[in-house]
Amino acid sequence: MTDSTSGAIGVIGGSGLYEMDGLEQIERVEVETPFGAPSDAFITGVLADQKMIFLPRHGVGHRLLPHEINFRANIWGMKKLGVERIISVSAVGSMKENIEPGRLVFVDQFIDRTKHRPSTFFGDGIVVHVPMADPVSPPLREALARAAGDIPHQNGGTYLCIEGPQFSTRAESLLYRQWGVDVIGMTNMPEARLAREAEIAYATIALATDYDCWHEEEESVTVEAVLAILKANVERAKAVIDAYVKAPREPRCEMSANAARSNMMTPVDRIPADRFRALEPILSPFASR
């Protein structure tokens, strides 16, 4: 393992992606955070001379429901380990005919319909309002889409994040179709919000596993149907990540890199000491006490 974790690429694996292929110098790192335990231990390694940090979002063995995921601990841990870019891999349902099961979507927008998940690192004495108009890093998304090559994919689209763990009713699914969304899932919010607050560039590889229940000619969504196509989708995602890591690195996303420092309303000397310590990985690159 290299001495420095600066510039590391983080991969958060969704359903079916519980490990990464091709890593060398592998270490398992347990990280304690002020927000509790992450989903699992972080797996660090090197791929093509690039430092990588991997985390299975649902834990090894798929133990966590979407609303049980400790998103703050996961992103805080990524930041602490020096991650500058996060590639989120997520299984989703398709909301459009042309996004057939097996197609990848590199989304550029989110609609957040979650209800019970802590969605910010801030508060309790520190006020920061990061912009979320463009929640995905454009340079990172474009680089991932290029890395997809001939793999069937769509560059751009809106991901609707629902609370779950149940799938939608048909009435809900038809309503969401009217909103013009492309895919539906349960895990990318508040993950994307927290990555922006932590000044980490973030992009999603959404893996379409089925048509949501709006598609009445298809069978209703079942776990069995999802698992049937999941394996092939995961291999496609791994191929994209491998090609991306081995390609020249895209320009830094200034929008992500300056999100918190440019939008912190509370003077540094007014931040409570315990809050500053808790947020040290996020604040220390631009603030000191």
User: Which residues lie below 8 Å from residue 3, measured CB to CB, with a gap of 6+?
Assistant: none
Going by C-alpha positions, the residue among 170, 11, 193 that lies closest to residue 90 is 11
Within a domain: residue 274?
A: yes
Q: How many domains does the chain have?
A: 1
Active site residue 49: no
The predicted pLDDT at position 230 comes to 83
Cβ atoms of residues 90 and 206 within 8 Å: yes
Cβ atoms of residues 71 and 58 within 8 Å: no
Within a domain: residue 52?
A: yes
How open is the CA angle 86-31-73, to the nearest 5 degrees? 55
Within a domain: residue 112?
A: yes
Q: Which domain holds residue 239?
A: 8-283
Catalytic residue among 212, 242, 269, 274: 212
Within a domain: residue 3?
A: no
The predicted pLDDT at position 178 comes to 98
The predicted pLDDT at position 38 comes to 98
Within a domain: residue 220?
A: yes
The predicted pLDDT at position 104 comes to 97
**CB burial of residue 89 (10 Å; 0-12, 13-18, 19+):** buried
Within a domain: residue 289?
A: no
User: Does the model's pTM come out above 0.75?
Assistant: yes
pLDDT along the chain (289 residues), means of 10: 61 83 94 98 96 96 96 98 98 96 96 97 98 98 98 98 96 98 98 98 96 77 69 92 97 96 97 97 93
The predicted pLDDT at position 227 comes to 72
CATH number for the domain that contains residue 253: 3.40.50.1580
For the record, the structure tokens of 130 come out as 């990061």
Active site residue 112: no
The predicted pLDDT at position 225 comes to 63
Cα distance between residue 43 and residue 178, in whole Å: 41
Within a domain: residue 1?
A: no
Within a domain: residue 152?
A: yes
Catalytic residue among 134, 210, 242, 269: 210
Length of the chain: 289
